[in-house]
Amino acid sequence: MPTWIGEQEIEDLAVGAALLGTGGGGDPYLGKLMVQKFIRKNGPIQLLDPSEVPEDQWVIPTAMMGAPTIMVEKIPNGDEALKSLRLVEERLGKKAFATMPIECGGLNSTIPFVVASQAGIPLVDADGMGRAFPELQMETFHIYGIKGTPMGLHNERGDYCLLETLDNPMLEHISRGIAVRMGGVAHIAEYAMTGAEVRRTAIPNTISLCIKLGKAIREANQQKRNPIEAIQRVTRESIYGEAIVLFKGKVVDVERRSTDGFVRGKAVVDGFEEYTGDQLHVDFQNENLIAKIGDTPVAIVPDLISFLDYETGVPLTTEGLRYGFRVICLGIPTPDIMRSPAAIEVWGPRYFGYDYDYVPVELMAKQGGGVR
């Protein structure tokens, strides 16, 4: 049974996607406004379970790439990603039966809805990251054998590019250079695949999970219940695993710089309540990568590390973090499909330059914290 997505679902999606965005993926707020505008114009958008895509039909994922700090400053016209999808369609000689997110976290959970509404096609309830990640080869699509190109890139001026590479790391390398030169952000279509390939390589039902998470946070606030407990209930029943409170405290420092098409930096939080006297350090490259209390890691990529507002449980993005914010830091276990040795090689701690083995966040929590 297809589901139809209206304005309220997009409202909830934006909140849940900020949580799974682990600080990155771009603030979904802008994308939310764009989708809601299109829903008011064209009506609800069809969300398809991966099992509902005919196996020989083509799905073309769409997204934005670049530094989230720039994404929130450069307002798009709205049709850039659709134009990139058309470029890929033309190259393949195939029409897109549906579009799909490449990541369910952040802004990129919403961009494909804009494309779906304009093209009059459904959106597949799945993605290739189960969260947000900073690079385009960090996709289950890549890990399980889908070719990323042909890739289309457009900017808001109307410059565009069709890219073909021999492998997906080169796709990331060249397209990142193009996005930088296009002004820091590009609107893209890539990893075109058949319905059969979607079922084999995508992480299922992550968009509906985002909607459930956003709804749970909203209802907890309306009913004056604890939003963290609501998040834990929803994650416990998903393919992820129960969210774990890692830290509570006040942000005392945020360092951010936009380099090479990414925003990199770190946040420092002074603990309060049971964490009084401790200090939390979180490093990010678009997304939060590692959380340490003192020198001890308590969560590490690809597990999800997210900051929430202490009062409301509303997730905070990297570019929204400010001195003085009172926050809760949550760790969420990633699904097993993202923890295979092949997957850890692509997006584990060592890829990002950390000299730690990957240890699941729920195991670190049981051990009282950390790889030592």
Site residues for a second copy per CB under 8 A = 157-166, 170, 173-174, 176-178, 180-182
Output 45 or 192, the one with its CB closest to a second copy.
192
Output 159 or 219, the one with its CB closest to a second copy.
159
CB of 181: closest distance to a second copy in angstroms?
4
CB of 154: closest distance to a second copy in angstroms?
9
Output 134 or 360, the one with its CB closest to a second copy.
134
The DSSP result for 41-79, as a single string, is HH--EEEE-GGGS-TTSEE--EEEEE-HHHHTTS---S-
CB of 157: closest distance to a second copy in angstroms?
6
Output 149 or 206, the one with its CB closest to a second copy.
149
3 state SS of 157: coil
CB of 152: closest distance to a second copy in angstroms?
10
CB of 165: closest distance to a second copy in angstroms?
4
Element (H, E) at 218: helix 206-222
Separation of alpha carbons 160 and 47, rounded Å:
29
Output 164 or 255, the one with its CB closest to a second copy.
164
Output 178 or 289, the one with its CB closest to a second copy.
178
> What interhelical angle do 28-42 and 111-119 show, nearest 10?
20
Using the CB atoms, write b or e for 57-83: b if 16+ within 10 Å. Answer: ebbbbbbbbbbbbbbbeeebebebbbb
CB of 159: closest distance to a second copy in angstroms?
4
Output 56 or 159, the one with its CB closest to a second copy.
159
Burial group, residue 203, by CB count within 10 angstroms (0-12, 13-18, 19+): buried
CB of 94: closest distance to a second copy in angstroms?
17
Using the CB atoms, write b or e for 23-53: b if 16+ within 10 Å. Answer: bbbbbbbbbbebbbebbeeeeebbbbbbeeb
Separation of alpha carbons 19 and 26, rounded Å:
11
3 state SS of 148: coil
Separation of alpha carbons 78 and 110, rounded Å:
12
Length of the chain: 372
CB of 183: closest distance to a second copy in angstroms?
10
Output 180 or 216, the one with its CB closest to a second copy.
180
Output 35 or 163, the one with its CB closest to a second copy.
163
CB of 149: closest distance to a second copy in angstroms?
9
- Look up residue 10 and give its two tokens: 């997009």
The DSSP result for 250-307, as a single string, is EEEEEEEEEETTEEEEEEEEEE-GGGTT-EEEEEEESEEEEEEETTEEEEETTSEEEE
